[in-house]
Amino acid sequence: MAEKRRTREDLKRERELQKKKQKKPVGSWVKRILLTLVIIGVVGLIGGAGLFAVYASSAPELDEELLKDPVSSEFYDKNGEIFASIGVESRKYVNYEDIPEEMVDAILATEDVRFFDHFGIDIWRLGSAVVANITQGFGSQGASTITQQVVKNSFLSNDKKLKRKAQEAWLAIQLERHYEKEEIFEMYFNKILMSGRIYGFGTASEYFFGKEPSELELDEMALLAGIPQSPNRYNPYKNPERAQQRRDLVLDLMVQHGKITEEEAAAAKEIDVTSRLLAEEDRQTVAGTKYDAFLDVVLSELEEKGDGEALAEGIKVYTTLDPSAQTAVESIMNNPENFPTEEIQSGVSVVDTKTGEIVAIGGGRNYGADRGFNFAHDLTTRSPGSTIKPLLDYGPAFENLKWSTGETISDVEMTYSNSKQVITNWDNKYLGDMTVREALYTSRNVPAVKTLQEVGISEAEKFINKLGIETESVFESDAIGGGDITMSPIEMSAAYAAFGNKGIYTEPTAIKEVEYRDGSKKSYSSKPEVAMEDSTAYMVTDILRDVVSSKPGASGTAAAVSGLDIAGKTGTTNYAADEFDKFDLPASSVPDSWFAGYTTNYSIAIWSGYSTRGEPITTWDERRLPQHLFSAIMSEISADVETADFDRPNSVVEATIEVNTSPLRLASEYTPNHLRQTELFVKGTEPTQVSETYEQKELNAPTNLQANYSVDGGLVDLSWEYTPSEEDDVDINFELSMAVDNEEPVVISTTPNSQASISNIEPGRNYTFTVVAVSDDVRSEPATVSIYIEDEIEEPEIDSPENPEDPENGEGNEDNGNGNGNNGNENNGNGNNGNENNGNENGNNDENDNGNDTGDTGENQDFEDWFGPGEEGEVETPAEPTDPTETEQ
């Protein structure tokens, strides 16, 4: 149990009595002097007692206000403007007498078990630390007591330099002389950083459990006692498993130091950490900043690099934040119209392609100051799916095997090396031989596994490790993102940035520099490292351009941004067979969807899915969400920024190959077009031999080409004969060209038939028709015929004489005064029989001629519609007449 604690009144009375005493007992002074001498002796082993005295003399004065209240830390964006200040938030202050005994026991067992016995410095811990520092290097192990932590967090910078440690020791002794143990413990209890903007155990008690410290159960006290060592790592909302392990360790320490029994510890360990936590909707609201998701990453980085405790000291943190990019990300992430469902989540990381600096973070939809799960930083257990293929498969192949982007690889059914499990593709099909370019941009699984096998596990692991992805082991299933390798969006965006930065990788960081209270500074800038040859980086990039193109099979078309040179890769993970039964999932379910893409300015990685693995993605809208978010974000942040295209380095050359040759051969002049492809090679590895697979083909020329003009139809009917050679085993088409007078010939149609009708023929012009047999790129000699279309000649009209002489019709008959020529019948006054109606220009024959002309025009129009050129120059053939007795089946 803890030492018996005194009330405030007891403490005041004791201090007044001490002031009245002129002398302290000799024994007490002797003890203190001896202990001080021991300390000086230990410090003297490191730097000398004289140096210790100099350092101690320059220590700041104790200030009660600084001792009790957290000191604000400030955060600046890349422009030097402050965007956040933490440490001044309201907090729950708890007096010592209101702290439960078991809470004190838990903290002391974890942080400083001899707190009530030492005078500010724990000699035993100090001795152990000295030995460790001598054997393992200075700063390898600390020996800070609770008193020293209060001093450090109030007055000193968080470094491990000898001057600071000497001052810390001296001020700890002074603090113990001026304040009682209970007061010092109370300072620590209310001042220590617990998580993000949460300071003090009282505030943490309300935030995590919604309780006063006096209401806490043993397991809850142990959980809180374990947090200060690493507030981010042991935050139960962010990392419940780690928090539970840490809680159990605190319980074991309490047993070890006799604070609780083993039975009590065992009972407390049975309680699940998450069952005690407040639900998100009941959580106490914490004052936030404009950029909470980014600040969360900054705080995590401070802790990961050993400066987490420095936050309580009042430091200045200069970050890589681009406020305009961060604003754009948050605006897009917080707009519900950008998401297909209400619950689907996303994590976004935007890094500078050239420097690796993190410029913006999307921690989740409507991410707040409570520092919940940050899907950009904390998502470390989700597999990357096919986004791993450039990192683990094809990148290493270009680097180590010097493959071309046109290397032939086969997509056929296969199993893993040590398994009977069949590797399938997303469409459950196998497409045979293809280039690695096609295999990667269409995201085929079998070629990816084959590529990893060709590279070798060891070389692949070395390659991906250089891109900041740490792996304990690599399996063949990792080739398609289905193994043990996991990564966060931040890690993925930094890895892909190396492809866009000519093979240079820079560890992602959100901090440029930290300035401590004493004016000293620490740089957080990462050192660029060569991860791969620039040829490898460019060849991967060039293929990943195709992913966002409109090529058939391209999987990332929705991520494209007009006017930007973008490369990227999609990724989708799968459920295991037993998970479909476990979670009762539809067959189309997948747990994760990814997209990673980059320009020469920015590299962005986006994950989408649901908070728990059992909630599946089931629609294509959900699967494509990362692509749509990428396009929106990249478009927004690149709007006012000049973005250069990816530049092909001198180490890479192009060559036009014949696809699927092995080894690769240059395409010959006879290689069919569909097998000709321009691909990239590492300079000096391009092929020099020309393929001899295809020889020159010769096609027989068409013969007996004839052209007949139809006056009535206004058409030229062409016909020809074609006799294929014995070697011809190809489809033959005939290309028709026409030249009018002396004009250049024009291709008018292509047909598989040996006849055609050409309309719109004008009289008075000379037409030359040419027919060529064509198969792929092979053409025959032409057959040619010319025809001149003469102008139509109109026959002149002949007028009939007024008095035609016809001996057979009463020639000279003077009695036929009416000119009717009635066979000399003088009594036929009506002249009907002799009426020259054959010569009547207005008679029926003329009317019939007019009718025939009209009919001809109609027939010509129909004929032209049937036989005239169709779409794209094709000659159309009239349909056969329909038998009215037939019915449609």
- Residue 540, token pair as written in the block: 């991967």
Q: Are residues 351 and 467 in contact, defined by beta-carbon separation less than 8 angstroms?
A: no
Residue type, 370: D
d(CA 607, CA 627): 10
d(CA 731, CA 720): 17
Q: Which of 441, 430, 500 is nearest to 679 (CA)?
A: 441
Instruction: Give the residues across from 498 on adjacent strands.
Output: none
849-870 per-residue burial string, b: 16 or more CB within 10 A, e: under 16: eeeeeeeeeeebeebbeebebe
The two beta strands, 414-415 and 422-423, are antiparallel
Instruction: Supply angle C-alpha 823, 827, 831, rounded to 5.
Output: 55
d(CA 105, CA 124): 20
Of the candidates 111, 206, 313, 658, the residue annotated as catalytic is: 111
Of the candidates 73, 195, 300, 386, the residue annotated as catalytic is: 386
Residue type, 372: G
Rounded to 5 degrees, φ, ψ at 877 are -105, 135
736 three-class SS: strand
Q: Are residues 80 and 318 in contact, defined by beta-carbon separation less than 8 angstroms?
A: yes
d(CA 312, CA 193): 7
List the alpha helices (DSSP H) in 408-550.
Answer: 436-441, 445-455, 457-465, 489-500, 534-547
d(CA 570, CA 563): 20
Q: Are residues 465 and 391 in contact, defined by beta-carbon separation less than 8 angstroms?
A: no
783 three-class SS: strand
From residue 283, give the alpha-carbon distance in Å to each of 191, 208, 227, 277, 445.
21, 7, 18, 9, 45
Rounded to 5 degrees, φ, ψ at 220 are -70, -40
The two beta strands, 73-76 and 316-319, are parallel
Q: What radius of gyration do the chain's Cα atoms show?
A: 46
d(CA 676, CA 777): 12
632 three-class SS: helix
CA–chain centroid gap for 422, Å, is 28
545 three-class SS: helix
Sheet order of strands, 755-758 included: 703-710, 715-721, 755-758
Q: Are residues 349 and 633 in contact, defined by beta-carbon separation less than 8 angstroms?
A: no
Rounded to 5 degrees, φ, ψ at 689 are -90, 140
Catalytic annotation on 386?
A: yes
422 three-class SS: strand
Q: Are residues 413 and 467 in contact, defined by beta-carbon separation less than 8 angstroms?
A: no
Number of residues written out for the chain? 889
Residue type, 546: D
DSSP letters of 82-141?
A: EEEEES-S------GGGS-HHHHHHHHHHH-TTTTTSSSS-HHHHHHHHHHHHHH-TTSS
Q: Which of 612, 469, 470, 635 is nearest to 562 (CA)?
A: 635
From residue 326, give the alpha-carbon distance in Å to each of 294, 333, 632, 846, 887.
8, 10, 13, 89, 69
Residue found under tokens 């109370």: 186
Catalytic (active-site) positions: 111, 386
